[in-house]
Amino acid sequence: MTIRIHSTASRGKVDFEPLEPGRVLFYNCGPTVYDHFHIGNARNFVVMDVIRRHLRHRGFDVRFVQNITDIDDKIINRAREEGKTPQEIAQTYTEYYFNRSGLLGVEPADVHPRATEHIPQIIGLVERLIERDLAYSTPSGDVYFRVREFKPYGELSGRNIDDLREGARVDPSEEKEDPLDFALWKASKPGEPQWDSPWGPGRPGWHIECTAMIHTHLGETIDIHAGGSDLIFPHHENERAQSMGATGQEYVRHWIHNGFLNIEGEKMSKSLGNFRTIEDVLAEFSPLTVRFFLLSAHYRNPLDFSRENLAAAATALRRLTDCLTETANTLRLLGVEDGSPEAEWIAKYDEAMDDDFNSQRAIGVIFELVADVNERRAKRDPDDSDRASLANGLATLRTLCDLLGLDPALDQRGDSSGVNPELAAFAEEIGATPSEQTEEAILQSLIERRAAARKERDFATADAVRGRLGEMGYILQDTAHGTTWKRG
Ligand SMILES: [Zn+2]
């Protein structure tokens, strides 16, 4: 088994070879917590979650770290606007991040380090760079990285130092030796959060935070560093310069960057007014639909967000969730035990995902399986081997959905039980009260109530059950094996 990864530094697919066989040290640049995150950020969280799941499924021991940037100009400005402290803003939007990414089925990382909890490590790293003449402090207490002293600068992003220097603007207040130099430590202005340092009170620059947290929680050389493609330059180029400059060692073996998310064909930007936060999107579409949509393209390709594309994703997803529900119901009627996943389908899925985590192709495999399971279910007079094959088909489908985190339960959060209150009320009214209050159990109980009514020739009640369920969006189907339900 070989996993192929498109590494940004090598500009092509390479065999994935972690530093230590069987173990993956994986870092993804996390949110700056000052506002609701947008759908483009959500894409990064979801695709990296799936890459992490796939590596784990392929037997790697994955250590996944994603930071929280909790000190930044944006946080300070937001705090000023709202009359709060930067800490309060950071706290609010850190909680918000965990809540909303959880709704989308993103698993928490093994560690979520916060920048403000790593000030000593950050200062230590800056001191190391100064000792190596790769950084210098200024009279006002800033510290800059000396870009021209780091020869491989520009290699990751494919930029040329002379071109960069020509385009660089310098703020006259900055005491830089060279316009390309970037801040490692910033002297704090009055009223801003500050920490003591050998260069006076100040706060860290953004790039150094990630490098210090990576060294602390993963080590000086890691296997995968991920982020959105907007982070390649300058953020990741600068991280690489700082780390390699300080350690003299390789920093990252594989850089992974996900593509942009466009809004109706245009780049998302505040100036175009087409910014979509995850709040806007979840107001119209379910969490599972959003997750499915975000995985429907290969992670490196651009993805176009539009109502039509989301609606199309919802329709496709319905075929999958209907197949899961109807197959489970049929198996219950047939009294068949749980099956086990089928190796040949898992292998097809792995082939797609091993090839640079192609979730688009992996979803294609899932839909091939949906068609196959639907055919198995339609079989008349199933014998034992047909029943077992149907049970195995369902087990396979569930396994593959789980690997992509496409869990139908994502859409049933919201209230604590996940049961439609109208459905529960109707069941009680008509005397169909199962011991377990799940949607599944209530529907089953209503199906039994209807069957009993028909037996007693009480067609009014039987019709009422079918009619009311239809109004609530559940369709009853009388099949050769008994009655099942699906969503209408
Ligand atoms: Zn970062």
How does DSSP classify residue 233?
A: I
| Ligand 1 midpoint to CA 70 (Å) | 12
| Ligand 1 midpoint to CA 30 (Å) | 7
Q: Where are the domains of the chain?
A: 4-281, 320-412, 421-487
Q: What pLDDT was estimated at residue 398?
A: 98
Q: What pLDDT was estimated at residue 440?
A: 82
| Ligand 1 midpoint to CA 138 (Å) | 25
In the predicted model, what is the mean pLDDT of residues 128-135? 98
Which residue in the block uniquely carries the two structure tokens 């593509």? 259
Q: Give yes or no on whether 4-281 and 320-412 have one common fold.
A: no
Average of per-residue pLDDT values in the chain: 94
CATH code assigned to 320-412: 1.20.120.640
CA atoms of 101 and 126, how far apart (whole Å): 33
pTM of the model: 0.89
Q: What pLDDT was estimated at residue 69?
A: 96
| Ligand 1 midpoint to CA 207 (Å) | 6
Q: What pLDDT was estimated at residue 488?
A: 74
CA atoms of 411 and 434, how far apart (whole Å): 23
Beta bridge partners of 484: 477
The pLDDT of residue 442 is above 60: yes
In the predicted model, what is the mean pLDDT of residues 364-368? 98
Kind and range of the H or E run holding 182? strand 182-187
Q: What pLDDT was estimated at residue 417?
A: 54
| Ligand 1 midpoint to CA 227 (Å) | 8
More confident position, 313 or 479: 313
Q: What pLDDT was estimated at residue 414?
A: 47
pLDDT digits (tens, 9 = 90+) for 49-84: 999 999 999 999 999 999 999 999 999 999 999 999
CB atoms within 10 A of CB 455: 9
| Ligand 1 midpoint to CA 178 (Å) | 23
The pLDDT of residue 413 is above 70: no
Distance of CA 253 to CAs 8, 9, 180, 223, Å? 10, 9, 25, 5
287: pLDDT confidence band, cut at 50, 70 and 90?
very high
In the predicted model, what is the mean pLDDT of residues 254-275? 90
Q: What pLDDT was estimated at residue 359?
A: 98
> Is the distance from CB of 395 to CB of 338 less than 8 angstroms?
yes
| Ligand 1 midpoint to CA 361 (Å) | 29
CATH code assigned to 4-281: 3.40.50.620
Q: What pLDDT was estimated at residue 141?
A: 96
95: pLDDT confidence band, cut at 50, 70 and 90?
very high
For residue 129, the number of C-alpha atoms closer than 13 Å in the C-beta half-sphere is 32
| Ligand 1 midpoint to CA 26 (Å) | 12
pLDDT digits (tens, 9 = 90+) for 107-126: 999 999 999 999 999 999 99
- In one-letter notation, the amino acid at residue 230 is D
pLDDT digits (tens, 9 = 90+) for 295-310: 999 999 999 999 999 9
| Ligand 1 midpoint to CA 17 (Å) | 23
Q: What pLDDT was estimated at residue 487?
A: 80
Q: What pLDDT was estimated at residue 416?
A: 46
The distance between the two most distant Cα atoms of the chain, rounded to a whole number of Å, is: 94
Q: What pLDDT was estimated at residue 38?
A: 94
434: pLDDT confidence band, cut at 50, 70 and 90?
confident
| Ligand 1 midpoint to CA 238 (Å) | 10
CA atoms of 51 and 224, how far apart (whole Å): 11
**Using CB atoms within 10 A of its CB, is residue 139 exposed (0-12), middle (13-18) or buried (19+)?**
exposed
Q: Which residues surround ligand 1, an ion (CB under 5 A)?
A: 29, 210
In the predicted model, what is the mean pLDDT of residues 22-46? 96
> Is the distance from CB of 383 to CB of 32 less than 8 angstroms?
no
Q: What pLDDT was estimated at residue 482?
A: 84
| Ligand 1 midpoint to CA 122 (Å) | 13
